[in-house]
Structure 1
């Protein structure tokens, strides 16, 4: 019996399928090489309701009528590095849009792009000046005092400090995503080893640059997984140039990743010395403007979400805070994924987002 794989009709069909795939791939590659392909991120409609220096507070346009919305608004806080558009990456993969359809009034902080004139800013300024003003602006805008706050990465650290230092400002719920808080284990993750070595002269670095350049942070992050970041990603893209969904996903993430933001110099030095090296927050010795940060004062409902494959914030940096906070309503949620992929990966809208919503919805009435 003749081999079906050698049938002339089958071979002809496969030839033209491969020819069509090659044509599409070549066209996409040519457009990528010529920088003719672009994609917009952060497209969900929003309004600026407050500004201070480079920082802005956005309110996203609700999609549900008032009677179907949760009465407690949600404030999103991202890190001082990278842009907050990761919360609203693209249509079909937007945590913001998901929250809006679940009935939340969503606000988001944009820290802006610091210049040399902002090199003196410390964590103290963001926690004790910016966040309290942002919260008051949100409270005035929505006409309610109670609110929820969600922080991601360094944004999770900032919101933790705020919730511990200003527990009576109306915060009802705090959600942390991949929060870098405990640096006791100096062997946990490359960043811990790099930043705590005696050869890493953070004072000289800030003296030379003013702010920590975003491209240095980006390069350091990519060197944590050099093969994946510099080789595998492009092989995967090459193999899927005929797949618009894969190309669109790559373009969106690449646009966000390469939109670099500098880390204010004084805050970066504080981050390296007082957190990574001296672990003051978990040791109970951290002071902001002379005020001791006591995690026992964090009394709001508390959800701590960690990623099992996080190579930037190892899980040990996020878990021990559970024993330090003063709240009784607290939950540690282990999720599959990496530092960013946990929230924007292909399965985030089915695995992570619904669990965050289920926890928050019960506490937003």
Structure 2
């Protein structure tokens, strides 16, 4: 009996010792974490050097400073979505999608849509596509002496690029679309379910310009546990790791940098595309012009992500069959919507794919 009591007492002491050590380690980790957060370095909005070369209203066109000798004679314009900022593609040295393309000798420009305010509530899709995109394209054509340029459209910016290509085919040499929503008839993924039932007219009438936070909260609800809870709980394990904290804060800064949405533009985007699928039906009007995707005869590279939680694969994948081009290629990458630009798959697959594809079609 005495032996059993002694054994139990020793086990108790070992447990107390282990708990005490865990407590000390946790306190040490927390103290180191405080120092890590105090020394956290969050880069500016994009790390690649660039120069503002053109502007219209709040929209700016940037030209990235080449990192190596240019290998492509045709410049490429990036059109990003309106709901977030393009610098997600250029967050960190060595992991930058834009930096990777520059290192491949691609001559890159990007449109920054700015931050709409109340005086922009009447901006339409025509303003964005035949105003801002067309104005930027014309500037690049004149500046570089090229009759045509390449377009690289991301997500909603890809939809805009497809529409622009169909309306102004004489100005586009090659079209690259990435995680682009094209066929809005699908009910896959929560975003495409919401879009069909969203009372956008009431929202635009009430807000004028939809607040960025409102839009961002909607995207967070696509994966509520993962995006609003788990990632913060997981952070505890990495609180004393400077690189991981820097990465976390950098991504958080981008996620919550959400511009407002010009009312009339998002009204048409939701009503004409999500609800009526007019782009696929051939009935979409931009201004007074009908968008006919069969006018797209130039080469098309369509890249989409297997694990995309925002844009369903069956919305992106059909694009080539709606254009007239004989030179089309679909590429499904085993990653997510953002992973296409920031993960190891971006460095190993996406960047080389785009670079090689453009170089083969540079003449």
TM-score for the superposition, normalised by structure 1: 0.89
The 10-residue stretch of structure 1 (323-332 or 352-361) with the greater mean CA deviation from structure 2: 352-361
> Are residues 37 and 332 of structure 1, via their aligned partners in 2, closer, same or farther at CA, if it must alter by over 3 Å?
same
- Whether the aligned pair in 1 keeps the contact of 2:36 and 2:241 (CA below 8 Å) is no
Q: Which residue of 1 aligns with 2:173?
A: 172
Secondary structure at 2:63's aligned position in 1? strand
Deviation at 1:31, TM superposition (A): 5.7
Is 1:228–2:230 an aligned residue pair?
Answer: no
Could you tell me whether the CA contact under 8 Å between 2:152 and 2:175 is conserved in 1? Answer: yes
Q: Please give the alpha-carbon distance, in whole angstroms, between the structure 1 residues aligned to 2:108 and 2:154.
A: 15
1:31-180 alignment, distance < 5 Å: 32=37, 37-41=40-44, 42-65=46-69, 68-169=70-171, 171-180=172-181
Alignment of 1:130-279 (within 5 A): 130-169=132-171, 171-185=172-186, 187-197=187-197, 200-279=198-277
Partners in 2 of 1:77 and 1:223 — Cα distance?
25
Cα distance in 2, alignment partners of residues 251 and 271 from structure 1: 32
Assess if the C-alpha contact under 8 Å between 1:21 and 1:242 holds in 2.
no
Deviations 1:100-130, CA, capped at 9 Å, x for gaps: 1111111111011111100111111111111
SS at match of 2:169: coil
TM-score, normalised to structure 2's length? 0.89
Q: Which residue of 2 aligns with 1:291?
A: 289
For 1:26 and 1:358, locate their aligned partners in 2 and report how far apart those are by CA, in whole Å. Answer: 48
Cα 1:348–1:23 change in 2 (3 A) is: farther
Segments of 5+ residues of structure 1 without an aligned counterpart are: 1-14
Residues 64 and 101, structure 1, Cα contact 8 Å, conserved in 2: yes
| Alignment equivalent of 2:350, drawn from 346, 349, 352 | 352
Deviations 1:61-92 (A, max 9, x none): 11223xx5311111111011111111211212
> How many residues in Structure 1 have an aligned counterpart in Structure 2?
343
Please state whether the residue corresponding to 2:318 is helix, strand or coil: helix
In the TM superposition, 1:334-345 aligns within 5 A as 334-345=332-343
Q: CA deviation at 1:297?
A: 0.3
Unmatched runs of 5 consecutive residues or more in structure 2: 1-19
- Whether the 8 Å CA contact 1:212–1:262 is kept in 2: the answer is yes
- Where 1:347 maps in the other structure, the secondary structure is helix
Larger radius of gyration: 2
Deviation (angstroms), 1:141: 2.2
Decide whether the 8 Å contact of 1:335 with 1:342 is kept in 2.
yes
